A = this chain, B = another copy of it.
Amino acid sequence: MSEVVRVGMLGCGTVGAAVVRLLDEHRTEIELRTGVRVEVVRVAVRDPARDRGVALPAAAFTDDPGEVASDPNVDIVCELIGGTEPALSSLLSAIDHGKPVVTANKELLATRGRELFEAADANGLDVGFEAAVAGGIPLIRPLKHSLAGERIRRLMGIVNGTTNYVLTRMTDDAMSFEDALAEAKRLGFAEADPTADVAAHDAAAKCAILASIAFNSRVTAGDVYREGITAVTRQDIEFARRLGYVVKLLAVAELEGESVAARVHPAMIPAAHPLAAVRGSFNAVFVEGERVGELMFYGRGAGADPTATSVVGDLLGAARHLLHGGRAVGCTCRLTRGISPIEDMESEYYVLLQVEDRPGVLGEIAAVFGREGVSIRHVWQEGLGADAQLVFITHRAREGALRAAVEQLRGLAAVEAVESVLRVEGEE
CB-contact partner of A149 in B148, B151, B313, under 8 A: B313
Q: In the bound complex, what is the Cα–Cα distance between A183 and B137 (angstroms)?
A: 36
CB-contact partner of A141 in B137, B145, B216, B316, under 8 A: B145
Is residue A363 within 8 Å, beta carbon to beta carbon, of the partner chain? no
Nearest-CB residue, chain B, relative to A300: B293
Q: In the bound complex, what is the Cα–Cα distance between A324 and B329 (angstroms)?
A: 11
Is residue A320 within 8 Å, beta carbon to beta carbon, of the partner chain? yes
CB-contact partner of A324 in B23, B294, B298, B325, under 8 A: B325
B residues less than 8 Å from A23 (CB atoms):
149
B residues less than 8 Å from A335 (CB atoms):
32
Q: In the bound complex, what is the Cα–Cα distance between A277 and B332 (angstroms)?
A: 34
Q: In the bound complex, what is the Cα–Cα distance between A291 and B313 (angstroms)?
A: 12
Asked if residues A309 and B142 are in contact (CB atoms below 8 Å), the reply is no
Is residue A197 within 8 Å, beta carbon to beta carbon, of the partner chain? no
Is residue A338 within 8 Å, beta carbon to beta carbon, of the partner chain? no
Is residue A242 within 8 Å, beta carbon to beta carbon, of the partner chain? no
Asked if residues B300 and A294 are in contact (CB atoms below 8 Å), the reply is yes
In whole Å, how far is A321's beta carbon from the nearest beta carbon of chain B? 6
Asked if residues B299 and A22 are in contact (CB atoms below 8 Å), the reply is no
A203-234 contacts to B, CB under 8 A, are 216
A295-347 contacts to B, CB under 8 A, are 295-300, 303, 305-306, 308-310, 312-313, 315-317, 320-321, 324-327, 329, 332, 334-335
B residues less than 8 Å from A332 (CB atoms):
32-33
Is residue A48 within 8 Å, beta carbon to beta carbon, of the partner chain? no
B residues less than 8 Å from A147 (CB atoms):
138, 309, 313
Residues of A at the B interface (CB closer than 8 Å) are: 18, 22-23, 26, 29-30, 32-34, 130, 136-138, 141-142, 144-151, 216, 272, 274, 277, 282, 284, 289, 291-300, 303, 305-306, 308-310, 312-313, 315-317, 320-321, 324-327, 329, 332, 334-335
Q: In the bound complex, what is the Cα–Cα distance between A277 and B271 (angstroms)?
A: 11
Asked if residues A306 and B327 are in contact (CB atoms below 8 Å), the reply is no
B residues less than 8 Å from A300 (CB atoms):
292-295
Asked if residues A321 and B326 are in contact (CB atoms below 8 Å), the reply is yes
Nearest-CB residue, chain B, relative to A331: B33
Decide yes or no: A326 and B329 within 8 Å by CB, A293-B306, A294-B299, A309-B291 being known contacts.
no
In whole Å, how far is A285's beta carbon from the nearest beta carbon of chain B? 10
In whole Å, how far is A308's beta carbon from the nearest beta carbon of chain B? 6
Asked if residues A298 and B295 are in contact (CB atoms below 8 Å), the reply is yes
Most B Cβ at <10 Å: residue of A294, A305, A326, A332: A326
